[in-house]
A and B are shown apart, each in its own frame.
Chain A
Amino acid sequence: MSESPNVLPTYSGEAEPYWQGLREGEVRLQYCKSCETYQFYPRPICAGCWSDDIEWRAVEASGTVYSFSVPGFAPHPSFKARMPYVVALVDLDVGVRIMGNIVDCDPDTVTIGMRVDPVISEIEEGHSLLNFKPQQGAQA
Chain B
Amino acid sequence: MASQHSSQGIAIAGVAESDLGSVPGKTIFQLQMEAAKAAIEDAGLEKSDIDGVLTAAPFNSMHMPSMALSEYLGIQPSYSDSTITGGSSFETHVGHAMAAIQAGLCTTCLITYGSTQKSDRSRNPQGTYGNPEPPWQFEAPYGPPLPLAAYAMAARRHMYEFGTTSEQLAEIAVATRKWAALNPKAYTRDPLSIDDVMNSPIVTDPLHRYDCCLVTDGGGAVIVTSLERARDLKKRPVVVLGFADTHSHMGISQMPDLVRTAAGITGPKAFGMAGVKPSDIDVTQIYDSFTITVMLCLEDLGFCAKGEAGAFVSGQRTAPGGEFALNTSGGGLSYCHPGMFGIFLIIEAVRQLRGECGDRQIPSANLALAHGVGGVLSSHATLILGGE
A and B: interacting chains: yes
Residue numbers of A with Cβ under 8 A of B are 6-12, 15, 40-41, 66-76, 78-79, 82, 85, 87, 89, 97-101, 112-113, 123, 129, 131
Contact of A99 among B131, B142, B160 (CB under 8 A): B142
Q: A69-B144, A71-B145, A87-B149 are in contact. List 13 more A-B contacts (CB 8 A).
A: A10-B136, A66-B258, A68-B156, A70-B205, A71-B143, A72-B203, A75-B129, A89-B253, A97-B254, A100-B142, A101-B142, A112-B157, A112-B160
A12: chain B residues within 8 A (beta carbon): 132, 134, 137
**B119 touches A (CB below 8 Å):** no
B202: chain A residues within 8 A (beta carbon): 72
C-alpha spacing A11/B141, complex, angstroms: 12
In this complex, which of A41, A69, A74, A123 has the most chain B Cβ atoms within 10 angstroms of its Cβ? A69
Give the size of the chain B interface in residues (CB under 8 angstroms): 36
Q: Smallest CB-CB separation from A74: which chain B residue?
A: B143
Contact of B204 among A8, A71, A76, A123 (CB under 8 A): A71
Number of contacts between A and B (CB, 8 Å)? 110
Shortest CB distance B147–A (Å): 11
List 25 contacting pairs A-B, 8 Å CB cutoff, sorted by A: A9-B137, A10-B132, A12-B132, A40-B138, A41-B135, A67-B157, A67-B160, A68-B153, A70-B204, A71-B144, A71-B205, A72-B202, A75-B126, A76-B143, A87-B142, A87-B149, A87-B153, A89-B252, A99-B139, A99-B144, A99-B252, A101-B142, A101-B143, A112-B160, A123-B141
Residue numbers of B with Cβ under 8 A of A are 125-126, 129, 131-132, 134-146, 148-149, 152-154, 156-157, 160, 201-206, 252-254, 258
Q: Smallest CB-CB separation from B209: which chain A residue?
A: A72
C-alpha spacing A74/B144, complex, angstroms: 8
C-alpha spacing A100/B141, complex, angstroms: 9
B205: chain A residues within 8 A (beta carbon): 69-72
Q: Smallest CB-CB separation from B132: which chain A residue?
A: A10
Contact of B129 among A76, A97, A123, A131 (CB under 8 A): A76
